[in-house]
Amino acid sequence: MSRFNLVVCVRLLGFSVLGLALTACQRQDQTSVKAWVAPTLAQIQGEEVAVLTHPPAVPPSIKRKHPTKLIVNLEVQEKVARIADGVDYTFWTFGGTVPGSFIRVRHGDLIEFHLANHPDSKVPHNIDLHAVTGPGGGAVSSFTPPGKETVFSFQAMNPGLYIYHCATAPVGMHIANGMYGLILVEPEEGLPTVDREYYVVQGDFYTRGAYGDPGLQPFDMDKALKEQPDYVLFNGSVGALTGDKSLAAKKGETIRLYVGNGGPNLVSSFHVIGEIFDTVHIEGGTALNHNVQTTLVPAGGAAIIEFKVDVPGELIIVDHSIFRAFNKGALGKIDVQGSEEAIVYSGKQRETVYLAEGSTSQSMPEEEPLEKLVLTAAQRIEQGERVYKSNCAACHMPDGSGIPNAFPPVAASDYMNADVKRAILTVAKGLEGEIQVNGKTYNNVMPRLNLSQDDIASVLSFLYSTWGNNGTEVTPEMVRNALQ
């Protein structure tokens, strides 16, 4: 907003109804940005296939001087990969990596987006690109079951750096499993030339075990709901940007970082220890800020960060919510090579200062358990309804009807009604593999949810008492017996 607009807005705020004034201010601001006119179909020349890159690489800058039809081919892959030394996780990815492939387009391009879901996938996925003007950012048109491909198209109407992510229910779980990446809509005139460009995205991860617990760690819905991640990571694993994977630079070079935050929950206080950002494209948009120490990158947001590296040594990339950096993995490095630059910095260097400390020292004594309340059948059903709404409705739907080919119904479910013990074990331990519910086949994954035995009894009592199920009352004793 120009200074002139600001004055007008302040005046308006002083003299007229607040709501009207705000509308006027916003309008004025928008018109000052929207001088750009979208190219018509006739002005869109030729056709190209977009170059996509895996992190931390960024596709080459766009030299084209005209808008084109740009074909983007992105494949969803569900795969087990290392999240930390000795620890694996089943990531859901766009293009096989976390974050997903980097997409680079030019302002005004017409993008034909092909989203494929690998035949080995267990669940359907879609994509919501924040660079899209249209329903769900593309999510509505791109719901893609395993072994299918969907195609939709959009015009890149606004320049900037944007997050894309999966938006299939349960959305939080798909994002928590790594389904996000960045799409850059380059301004028509391009960005100033720099020596190096890198792609870094933060994400928070929720595992059954604590930080560092070995083995294949399943997703933990309970911790995700409480926003208590075990891992906070740059580029999907502890050490993705350290050691021989540190980002490289030479003294005197200019660096541009495309930084995103996939969340699902945390906001990042993005900081590089030992560097000041010369320029930040705030929130990935058009406004520039200079001489910045730490820039906030919201969940589902981004920033373009530029700086010149003036001295050799290691620069440390962190989320300055600092326990995340030293105890949960949010730490990367830029290794700057070159001769000493004593005028700028002449101190003695130590390499051991920033070793991760691990998180074992943080546990607190457990609280005394509260006296157990004994619930009546009616109270249990009431409690079960609450448990259902917050833990199950995202997948099985608020009315229990499920989603075809993905989530079976828990309303009038012959599978549930045939066997209570099996239903208890499903809710207690999760379920995968092929099952039949009401004559339809499902082959999918229900995660273990870490519910208490009381909550399992309540939610099942609720389900059995409603939506055409057979009325079985499930008590905590039945749950305890089933789990023995």
At residue 141, what are phi and psi to the nearest 5 degrees? -95, 0
Instruction: Confirm or reject binding of residue 476 to ligand HEC (CB under 6 A).
Output: no
446 binds ligand HEC (CB under 6 A): yes
| Rounded (10°) CA dihedral 58, 64, 69, 73 | -20
Task: Report the amino acid identity of residue 134.
Answer: G
Rg (CA), the chain: 26
- Cβ distance to ligand HEC smaller for residue 17 or 80: 80
Residues 235 and 56: beta-carbon distance below 8 Å: yes
Q: Where in 252-291 is the site for ligand HEC (CB under 6 A)?
A: none
Residue whose token pair is 């296939």: 49
**Should residue 416 be labelled a site residue for ligand HEC when binding is judged by CB under 6 A?**
yes
CB nearer to ligand HEC: pick between 202 and 469: 469
CB of residue 459 to ligand HEC, shortest distance in Å: 5
Could you say whether residue 409 binds ligand HEC (CB under 6 A)?
Answer: yes
277-281/301-308 β-pairing: antiparallel
Contact of residue 158 among ligand HEC, Cu ion, none (CB under 5-8 Å per partner type): none
Phi, psi of 111 (to 5 degrees): -100, 125
Distance (Å) of CA 117 to CA 54, 75, 94, 407: 18, 6, 9, 17
Q: CA–CA distance from 174 to each of 94, 131, 166, 204, 378 (Å)?
A: 11, 19, 6, 12, 35
Q: What are phi and psi of 65, to 5 degrees?
A: -110, 10
Interface positions, 453-472, toward ligand HEC (CB under 6 A): 459
Q: Shortest distance, CB of residue 227 to ligand HEC, whole angstroms?
A: 17
> Rounded to 5 degrees, what are φ and ψ at 53?
-130, 155
Residue 179: contacted member of ligand HEC, Cu ion, none (CB under 5 to 8 Å, by partner type): Cu ion
Tell me: does residue 443 bind ligand HEC (CB under 6 A). Answer: yes
Which of 87, 451 has the CB closer to ligand HEC? Answer: 451
Q: Verify binding: residue 427, ligand HEC, rule CB under 6 A.
A: yes
Among ligand HEC, Cu ion, none, what binds residue 410 when CB lies within 5 to 8 Å by partner kind? ligand HEC
CB 219 → ligand HEC: shortest distance, Å?
9
What, of ligand HEC, Cu ion, none, does residue 301 touch, CB below 5 to 8 Å by kind? none
Q: Return the ∠ at Cα 257 (arms to 343 and 201), rounded to 5°.
A: 130
Cβ-based nearer residue to Cu ion, 127 or 311:
127
Q: Which of 449, 457, 474, 479 binds ligand HEC (CB under 6 A)?
A: 449
Residues 292 and 277 sit within 8 Å (Cβ to Cβ): yes
Q: Give the count of residues interacting with ligand HEC (CB under 6 A).
A: 31
Question: Does residue 426 belong to the site contacting ligand HEC (CB under 6 A)?
Answer: yes
Whether 294 contacts 269, CB under 8 Å: yes
Q: Which does 166 bind (CB under 5 to 8 A by kind): ligand HEC, Cu ion, none?
A: Cu ion
Question: Rounded distance, CA 3 to CA 15, Å?
Answer: 19
Pattern 384-403, ligand HEC, x by CB under 6 A: -------xx-xxx-------
Alpha-carbon span 194 to 305, nearest angstrom: 11
Looking at residue 176, its amino acid is A
| Contacts (Cβ under 8 Å, ≥6 apart) of 450 | 208, 220, 221, 222, 223
Report in angstroms how near the CB of residue 262 gets to ligand HEC at its nearest: 18
DSSP, collapsed to helix, strand or coil, labels residue 120 as coil
By a kind-dependent CB cut-off of 5 to 8 A, residue 443 interacts, out of ligand HEC, Cu ion, none, with ligand HEC
Cβ-based nearer residue to ligand HEC, 182 or 387: 387
Find which of ligand HEC, Cu ion, none residue 318 binds, CB within 5 to 8 Å per kind.
none
474 is a site residue for ligand HEC (CB under 6 A): no
Euclidean distance between CA atoms 268 and 295, whole angstroms: 8
- Interface with ligand HEC, residue 407, by CB under 6 A: yes
CB nearer to Cu ion: pick between 100 and 384 = 100
Strands of the 331-337 sheet, one edge to the other: 247-250, 331-337, 313-319, 268-273, 294-297
Using CB under 6 A as the criterion, which residues of the chain lie in contact with ligand HEC when the complex forms?
A: 170, 173, 391-392, 394-396, 407-410, 413, 415-416, 423, 426-427, 431-433, 435, 437, 442-447, 449, 451, 459
